[in-house]
């Protein structure tokens, strides 16, 4: 049934599955509990009305575990902008509006973002922190505000698609709950501090960085204009966002820069 490959992610491949379904297949090395959690989160957020595709649960194909989804009928926001630069401004506005709609959904059934961040402190490279830095970071994370909005933690233009008459957000592997500001901080981080495309020629990389910076400004301006959220509230979550990026992915080219920025903030946290 899985004949045509239609997508590829960091840890999975996506294949057509029947006429109107797709299956996201994972390698044997992938943690089964994580796959089950992603399927559970995908079902939940769709039921809550978050822009997404319906999830039909788990299935095994050729010995590999996968998640079955309704098949997307549109292209990602990233592809929309690349196909027609005149759409760039609208893509940025839609990116913010879709995020606002996601955060309007509330639940207690997803993990707390603060607990997720705290659980990552033993992971590399955060295990390089001194005991004093670790103590300060624990206090900082525990002191962050509570919230129950649906958070994605990997929200960027390649994970948001035009679908039917609206939008669909994909890849719910890191879904959790917390204040909307936390998720906005994570997206702002991805549009400013994380690695772009490895191996990209320097001049092309510079262009991508300029475009990404513009997208970040337009996305944030739209989000702030349509909600009561402030930049100060987002800034409060930037250290947590860096911790999550380091602990969940640990990308070699980002490691030193992000860790130093975490350590820099810890120096000003009162003992």
Average pLDDT of adjacent 10-residue blocks, the chain of 271 residues? 78 92 95 96 98 97 94 96 95 98 98 98 94 96 98 97 96 98 98 80 81 97 98 98 96 94 80 46
DSSP class per residue in 79-118: HHHHH-GGGHHHHHHHHHHHHHHHHT-B-SSSPBHHHHHH
**Residue 136 resides in a domain:** yes
Alpha carbons 84 and 245: distance in angstroms, whole number: 31
pLDDT of 195 reads: 84
> Looking at residue 210, which CATH number applies to its domain?
3.90.1200
**Residue 271 resides in a domain:** no
pLDDT of 271 reads: 46
Q: Identify whether residues 95 and 181 lie together within a single domain.
A: yes
Q: Please, what sign has the CA dihedral across residues 38, 44, 46, 50?
A: negative
- Crossing angle of helices 88-103 and 180-190, rounded to 10°: 150
Q: Identify whether residues 53 and 107 lie together within a single domain.
A: no
**Residue 21 resides in a domain:** yes
**Residue 37 resides in a domain:** yes
Q: Identify whether residues 23 and 88 lie together within a single domain.
A: no
**Domain total of the chain:** 2
pLDDT of 268 reads: 55
Task: Choose among 65, 72, 52: nearest CA to 7.
Answer: 72
The residues that bridge with 95 in the sheet, in sequence order, are none
Q: Identify whether residues 98 and 61 lie together within a single domain.
A: no
Q: Identify whether residues 255 and 155 lie together within a single domain.
A: yes
Alpha carbons 70 and 52: distance in angstroms, whole number: 9
Alpha carbons 37 and 195: distance in angstroms, whole number: 27
Three-state DSSP class for residue 70: strand
Contact yes or no for 145/112 (Cβ under 8 A):
no
Task: Choose among 174, 183, 175, 191: nearest CA to 236.
Answer: 183
Q: Which long-range contacts (CB under 8 A, 24 or more apart) does 115-122 make?
A: 116/174, 116/176, 116/244, 117/141, 117/240, 117/243, 117/244, 117/247, 118/142, 120/243, 120/244, 120/246, 120/247, 120/248, 121/243, 121/247
The residues that bridge with 161 in the sheet, in sequence order, are 76, 168
Residue 119 is encoded by which pair of tokens? 């659980």
Angle (CA) 113 119 125, round 5°: 110
Q: Identify whether residues 208 and 112 lie together within a single domain.
A: yes
Three-state DSSP class for residue 264: helix
Can you give the pTM of this predicted structure? Answer: 0.94
Q: Identify whether residues 111 and 13 lie together within a single domain.
A: no
Among the candidates 32, 54, 70, a domain finishes at 70
Q: Which residue range is the domain that position 165 belongs to?
A: 77-266
Task: Choose among 190, 199, 192: nearest CA to 155.
Answer: 190
Q: Identify whether residues 177 and 233 lie together within a single domain.
A: yes
DSSP 71: P
Instruction: Mention every residue, 6+ apart, whose C-beta is less than 8 A from residue 94.
Output: 77, 160, 167
pLDDT of 197 reads: 67
**Residue 55 resides in a domain:** yes
């Amino acid at each position: 049934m899985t004949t045509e490959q239609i997508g590829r992610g960091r840890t999975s491949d996506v294949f057509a599955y029947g006429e109107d379904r797709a299956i996201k297949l994972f390698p044997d090395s992938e943690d089964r509990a994580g796959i089950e959690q992603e399927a559970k989160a995908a079902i939940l957020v769709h039921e809550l009305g978050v822009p997404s595709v319906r999830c039909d649960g788990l299935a095994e194909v050729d010995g590999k575990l996968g998640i079955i989804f309704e098949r997307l009928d549109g292209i990602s926001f990233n592809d929309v902008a690349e196909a027609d630069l005149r759409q760039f401004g609208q893509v940025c506005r839609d990116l913010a509006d879709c995020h606002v709609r996601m955060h309007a959904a509330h639940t207690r059934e997803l993990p707390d973002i603060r607990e997720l961040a705290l659980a990552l402190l033993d992971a590399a490279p955060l295990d390089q922190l001194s005991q004093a830095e670790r103590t300060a970071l624990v206090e900082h994370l525990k002191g962050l505000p509570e919230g129950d909005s649906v958070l994605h933690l990997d929200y960027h233009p390649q994970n948001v698609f035009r679908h039917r008459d609206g939008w669909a957000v994909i890849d719910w592997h890191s879904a959790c709950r917390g204040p909307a500001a936390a998720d906005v901080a994570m997206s702002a981080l991805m549009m400013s501090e994380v690695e772009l495309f490895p191996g990209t020629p320097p001049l092309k990389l510079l262009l991508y960085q300029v475009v990404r910076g513009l997208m970040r400004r337009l996305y944030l301006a739209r989000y702030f204009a349509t909600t009561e959220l402030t930049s100060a509230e987002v800034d409060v979550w930037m250290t947590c966002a860096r911790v999550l990026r380091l602990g969940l992915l640990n990308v070699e080219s980002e490691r030193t820069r992000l860790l130093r920025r975490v350590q820099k903030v810890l120096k000003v946290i009162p003992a």
